[in-house]
Structures are given as C-alpha cells and as structure tokens.
Structure 1
Amino acid sequence: QIDRLDRLSQVALEQHRQLLDRRRDEGRVRHCHGDLHLGNVVLLEGEPTPFDCLEFDPGLATIDVIYDLAFLVMDLLHRGLRPHAQRALQGWLEISEDDEAMALLPLCLATRAAVRAKVSGLQGEADEARHYLDLAVAMFDTTAPLLVALGGVSGTGKTTVARGLAPDLGRPPGAVILRSDVIRKRLFGVAPEEKLGAEAYQPEVSQRVFRRMAERAARLLSSGQAVIADGVFGDAWQRELMEAAADGKGAAFAGLWLEAPEAVLADRIAQRRNDASDATAAVLRDQLRAIDRTQITWTGVDASGDPRATLAAARGSLRTGG
C-alpha cells in the first residue's frame, strides 16, 4: 500500500509540476498555518479558531494555500465527516475562486493523510496509521467528473438540494456548488447576503453571470472535480451553456428542473433570511410568466414537499439517469 501511494504521488507530482511552479510565481505559496488538522482547531466563543501553527520553521509553513486547507479537509474525511469537508472546501472556493487548485487537491489530500499515517505509526497507533494510509491512496480516486444543473424558479429549494447532493457526488470531498446568486454578488463586489438593485439583473449582467458559471464549471471539470450548477436557468441559452460546458470536457451531465405550486414558492420566499437570493413574490410571478415549461427538457423533480423529500426525489432522478 505504501509502494502504491508512492507511485501515485510521484505520477501526480510530475503531472502538476508546472502548475505548482506557476502558482508559486503567482503568489499562491505563502506563509500559512502549516499544521491545520482538527487537533489544532478549537471552538472559541462559537467560532472555529486555528491555533498552534507551525512556528519552529517558517520554511515548512511556506506552502501552497491549497496544501494548507487540505489538512483540514483530509482530517474531516478521516473522521467520516465528508459533508463537513465539502462545506469547508466550498466556503474557501466561494471566497477565493481558486478553481485551478482543485487539480492539486488529490495530491495534497493524499500527502496530508500520509503525514498523519507516519505520525500515527511513530506513536504506535497501527490501526490509525493504516486508516490514514488507506485514505491517502483513496484520494487518487479516478471517478469521472459529473455536472449536475439544478434549475427552477425561485423558492423551489435548489440550494438546499445542491448542498444535500454535493458530498455524495464525484471524488472526495464532493461536488463544488456554483450558485448564480453568489456569482452575481461577487461581480458587484458585495457580500452574498447584501441586496442588489434592478440594474444587477439586466440581461447583459445575466450574460456575464452565466458565462462566468460555465467557465468555472469547465475549469473544475477539467481538474476532475464534480460540479453542481444552481440557478433559475429560465432561458434556453443558459441551459445550453451548462450542457456545453460538460460536453466540452467529456463529463457526464444531468439537468434537473425543480417544480412546486406558486403558493408554496411564495411562502418560502417570504420566510427567507440572510440568503444570497434577492427574489421576491413579484420576481417569482415574473419568472412563472416568462418561462415556457414546454421548452425545458431537463428531468422534472417534485419540490412541493419538505426538503428531505425533494432531496430524495433529486437523488432518485440522478440514479435513474435523469
């Protein structure tokens, strides 16, 4: 198993040598924490807070930022907390948009797991060492990338479904979620929860938003990471962009269209708090009038029930090839 890990790691290192060097030249190698496993994170006044960074050798702590994050993600995976690992990676990507780093993620996760395997072995914890070693090898999983697009008018629960599906799709720690609402807010340089005016929803802005989503999806798929695209996708050209992004990278594609009665949707929108969506009941009515359901070929998903039922229906559609 050690020999296998060594071979896989050497192949990955050679494959990404130029990318690693370029990222260093572009400033992605920095003085980081260096030892960011869960034993060095404490819940302090309700906030996860890193401590005990690698201080005795600044050179060892001067690393690619994705290698720093990989320790935390790997340790969450080791503890069987894959949804938490996916959310940690997701949060970092929403801030950094460092999509090209995903090509390095398997190597970084495997190396971090190998470090813990060695430490556990030196401490006489043989079972723990083997567990970390098996995890290290598993990080080179070659699962083919998949793009799942979740469409539907506001209030159908697309984001909740995306978060439920993400940890189980693709290689560890799961799919990266690209949400049109979040991308739009970043284009305007505001926090996801900050409201935007009507000018942010003009057709030319939406063109930029969905083209940005397609570009990021293609880049992530190229790295081997699964992707979930979350947006209304009311216009045919938006749906076609996502399908083309998958096709251009030889990735599998599944389009799901979430549906529920207008009264249910309006009630959900009214109850939203601290969400990236700016949709109102009036926006919902406009969407329902504008979208021609007969032109949508994506698989319909009943989103009228509670979130668990909708998530189960979406999973069922993916299993049956929807």
Structure 2
Amino acid sequence: MKKPLDLGFLDNRTRAARESMCHREVDLNRRLAPDVYLGVADVHGPDGQVCEHLVEMRRLPDDRRLAALVARGEIIDSVVDSVARQIAGLHAESPQDPAIDRCATVDFLTDLWSQSLDHLERLPVGIDAAAVLAKIRTSATRYLEGRGPLFAARIADGRAVDGHGDMLADDIFCLDDGPRIIDCLEFDDELRYGDGALDIAFLAMDLERLGARDSAHRLMRVYAEFSGDACPATLTHHYIAYRALVRAKVTALRHDQGDAASREVSLGLLGQVARNLDRGRVRLVLVGGLSATGKTTVSRLLGEHLDAVVLRSDVIRKELAGLDPAIDASADVDSGLYTREHTDATYDELLRRARIALSFGTSVVLDATWLSESRRAEARRAGAEVTADVIEIECCADPAVLLRRIISRRERGDDASDATPAVLDEQLHRREEWPTAQVIDTTDGTLPDTERLDGMVGPGPW
C-alpha cells in the first residue's frame, strides 16, 4: 500500500494518485517478474466503497535472496549469468525515446553527481567526511569533463534504456526455475532511464559491497556478452562509483533519522566510491627510453594491467609508410623512415590516436623513445585536452646490455624495431633528461610486479 505522502518529486496524497502508482509498479515490474506481480487489489471500507489499493504479489522465500546466498558463501555464477541475460533482454526491448536519451547524456549524469554530493554535504555523515567528498567530486568531474564523445556515441548506439533503476541483491530471489528480479524504481522515470551499463552497475556495486567482487566483475562481463556492449572499463567503474554514492546518501539519511549504525555503512560506501573512481581514471602512460631498454615489454604489461590500448611508434612509423611492421627499414641515422619529417609524423599520429581513445574512456600506453622534452610536453598537452592523467615512465639499462640486445634482436629479425648500434650511439648523445619520469631499470631483465605497477600507474580495472 502506498503512503499518502508528498515528497516533492512524488505526490501520493490522493487515492487516485496512489492507485495510479500501484498500477505503474505492477506494469513495470512485470517486465522481469510477471508471475510475482499479480495485480492491483482494491480495498473496500465498511460502507462497501473502494477506499485504498494494494499491489498484490506472490510471496518469495527470504532465504533465497541473492544477498543471503552471498552471505552464506554459496556459488552464484549461474544466478549472475541468468540475471545478466535477463537485464540484457530488458534493455534490448527498451523503447528508444529522446526523453530516455537525455538521461544518458554527460550533462544529466553530471547533474546527478552534483545533486547527490550537494545533499550528502549537508548531512552529518557528509560533514564528517568533507575531505573525502571533495576528492570524490573532483575525480567524478574530471572523468566526465573529457568524455563527451563517449557518452554521445553510446546514445547514438542505442545504449540509453528504460531499465530497472534500483537493482539490489536483496531484491533478487534465486528460485529453482531461475531468478526473479523485483522492486524496480517506479516513482521517477528519469531515475530509471539512462545508460544500460549504469543500470546493471547498481547490482555490480551491491555485489562488490557484499564482498563478492569477482561476481560483480562476472556480472559486467556476461552482461557485455549478452548485450553486445563494449563498455570501457573506466566507464563501468565510474557507474559503479555513482551507484555507491546513491547508496551512501540513502544510508546517510537513515543516520540523520536516528539509525546510528548507518553512519559506518555510509562511510564504507564512500570508500567504495573513491576506490572505483580511482580504478576508473583515464590514463595516458608514456613509456620511453633508449632502444632495447624493454619499453615494448613494459608497455604490454601496462596495457594488460590497465586494460589499455598500446600504441607503438615503431609499428605506426611503418604503417604511415605503407610497410609491414616486420620489414627491416633500418637506415643511417636521420635518413630513410627516420628523418625528422617522418619522426614528427609518427609522434603526431601517436597523439592523434591517443586523443580519440582517451576521449572514449580508454586508457592509452604510448611506446616510443620520448627522448626530447618537447615531445613529452606535446603528450602532456594532449592528455590535458581530454582530461586524462598523464604518467611518465622511463626504461633504462646498462649501455653494454642494450648493445647486446640490439645485436641479438637484429640477428633474430623478429621485431618491428629498426634500431642499430649506430642508432643507440646517437640516442645516447641526444637523450634529454627526464626528471618527471618514474624509472624502471631493466638491466637484469626483471619486470615490475602488480604491486609496483599499482604504485606507478594506479590500480587496474579489476
């Protein structure tokens, strides 16, 4: 039964309004659980006249809530897969409408962040966590500022949907014949509209909150498979962060209303917001150094760590010339493909491709020598244009080791690099100091482990 309340965004003071909201709840929830939502029942008073209305539902077993399964440590892979499939189907059947599209724009999401943060800042929990909220606001705003093309492309691709809007593990019942997903958000269409990945991210957030982080990852991966949505990992984490913020605000309100235990829950959710925003940072990583210092190996490692695109100057240089990367195009210093003109064109193309990927939410690793400060400055400007974090790494090794590696590599003939001993000698003289770079010494062939990579470029997506 609906309470006769006026909440500003929802006015249920009249019986007609409450009846309409009951029907709305049934109609929307029947999309996912038609056998649970049985209809709207009329309540008759002593005079035989209709005086109220009820949503009539089939009772579901509390011990089969997904949250209960997680708490008991049960394996939930099949449930997660089924939920991902159902939600992908719901999204596929969603109508396409400008009103829905508007709720998936970068401006709309920016407003949602601002409204929730503004509200939280006025509550006791938010006042206590002022520094955390300030950092969250900065991180969320920074991501959104550079991602206009990503949000526009997702809307054009039909990713804006009428979804569930409030998907929590406590509202998913794992029955023998499959899960029932109930209690979608019916009182405000605009809070149910939006990007499909934002919709499914609510449950990913809740699973992560409950300690089932692997299941959260699985949910997003399987949803991507069923929906055909290649959502960048940075956006997934941004959406999970926003959903955690919403729950933090709700629990902070409970604390303000006298529930003392909600304070720590809300603070924990704010920690979850911050962690996901950190994982969702868009990063431009410059990996430089002399030839044979292991730049390409380190770049590939970073690409895997960050789920990033790796662009290699040796390959792009030959692509621009119409050559297969495996072809030996070595030449004297400053000649052939290695004139200033060819080198400028190579770096320009590296940064052009990087800007595009970064604006679409994909982190980028650029594998090149970056020997000159002027080229590094160009890369920093490119990162600033799309509001990406620029991280600089210089690989180094003993020159004698570099010489042996170059000779060995040329004998094998299995690499895109055309570096020769003469090129190495020239680089040693041309290299400009790089004080802003973190240094990786590869002399002994040891590569950085995950912990060190975290320290250098931050945590990867999962």
Q: Which TM-score tier does this pair reach, normalised by the shorter chain?
A: 0.5 to 0.7
- Could you tell me which of 179, 183, 186 is aligned with 2:312? 179
Shift in Å at residue 276 of structure 1? 0.7
The one-letter code matched in structure 2 to 1:227 is V
SS of residue in 2 equivalent to 1:306? coil
1:147 maps to 284
1:260 maps to 397
* Counterpart Cα distance in 2 of 1:231 and 1:102: 30
Higher relative contact order (CA 8 A, sep 6+): 1
Contact 2:285 2:365 in 1 (8 A): yes
Compared with structure 1, are the counterparts of its residues 274 and 144 closer, same or farther at alpha carbon in structure 2 (3 Å cutoff)? Answer: same
SS of residue in 1 equivalent to 2:375? helix
Sequence identity (%) = 30
* Counterpart Cα distance in 1 of 2:449 and 2:401: 13
- Could you tell me which of 197, 216, 241 is aligned with 2:353? 216
* Counterpart Cα distance in 1 of 2:428 and 2:394: 13
1:251 maps to 388
Q: How does 1:80-159 map to 2 (within 5 A)?
A: 133-135=219-221, 136=223, 139=231, 141=236, 142=238, 143-159=280-296
* Counterpart Cα distance in 1 of 2:372 and 2:383: 18
Gaps of 5+ in 2: 1-82, 107-148, 160-176, 180-202, 204-214, 239-279
Compared with structure 1, are the counterparts of its residues 176 and 12 closer, same or farther at alpha carbon in structure 2 (3 Å cutoff)? Answer: farther
- Could you tell me which of 304, 311, 315 is aligned with 2:443? 304
The one-letter code matched in structure 2 to 1:308 is L
SS of residue in 2 equivalent to 1:271? helix
* Counterpart Cα distance in 2 of 1:125 and 1:224: 35
* Counterpart Cα distance in 2 of 1:286 and 1:107: 49
Aligned pair count reads: 215
* Counterpart Cα distance in 2 of 1:305 and 1:235: 26
2:433 is equivalent to residue 288 of structure 1: no
- The Cα offsets for residues 12-59 of structure 1, whole Å up to 9 and x where unpaired, read as 99769xxxxxxxxxxxxxxxxxxxxxxxxxxxxxxxxxxxxxxxxxxx
Query: Where in structure 1 do 4 or more consecutive aligned residues deviate above 3 Å?
Result: 9-16, 100-108, 130-134, 137-140, 309-316
Shift in Å at residue 4 of structure 1? 11
SS of residue in 1 equivalent to 2:419? coil
Compared with structure 1, are the counterparts of its residues 312 and 261 closer, same or farther at alpha carbon in structure 2 (3 Å cutoff)? Answer: farther
Compared with structure 1, are the counterparts of its residues 226 and 13 closer, same or farther at alpha carbon in structure 2 (3 Å cutoff)? Answer: farther
2:379 is equivalent to residue 242 of structure 1: yes
- The Cα offsets for residues 137-193 of structure 1, whole Å up to 9 and x where unpaired, read as 694513231111001000110110111111221xxxx10011111110001101111
Shift in Å at residue 125 of structure 1? 9.1
Compared with structure 1, are the counterparts of its residues 107 and 297 closer, same or farther at alpha carbon in structure 2 (3 Å cutoff)? Answer: same
Shift in Å at residue 258 of structure 1? 0.9
* Counterpart Cα distance in 2 of 1:12 and 1:167: 34
Compared with structure 1, are the counterparts of its residues 259 and 199 closer, same or farther at alpha carbon in structure 2 (3 Å cutoff)? Answer: same
Compared with structure 1, are the counterparts of its residues 316 and 144 closer, same or farther at alpha carbon in structure 2 (3 Å cutoff)? Answer: closer
Contact 1:12 1:107 in 2 (8 A): no
Contact 2:309 2:362 in 1 (8 A): yes
Contact 1:13 1:107 in 2 (8 A): no
TM-score under structure 2 length normalisation = 0.41
* Counterpart Cα distance in 1 of 2:404 and 2:156: 46
Contact 1:301 1:314 in 2 (8 A): no
Contact 2:370 2:376 in 1 (8 A): yes
- Could you tell me which of 404, 414, 418 is aligned with 1:274? 414
2:327 maps to 194
Shift in Å at residue 101 of structure 1? 10
Shift in Å at residue 316 of structure 1? 3.8
Compared with structure 1, are the counterparts of its residues 244 and 271 closer, same or farther at alpha carbon in structure 2 (3 Å cutoff)? Answer: same
Gaps of 5+ in 1: 17-99, 111-123
* Counterpart Cα distance in 2 of 1:195 and 1:245: 31
* Counterpart Cα distance in 1 of 2:318 and 2:103: 36
* Counterpart Cα distance in 2 of 1:231 and 1:268: 17
* Counterpart Cα distance in 2 of 1:283 and 1:247: 32
SS of residue in 1 equivalent to 2:284? strand
The one-letter code matched in structure 1 to 2:377 is E
- The Cα offsets for residues 185-238 of structure 1, whole Å up to 9 and x where unpaired, read as 001101111122432101111111101111111111001000000000111121
Contact 1:164 1:311 in 2 (8 A): no
* Counterpart Cα distance in 2 of 1:286 and 1:311: 34
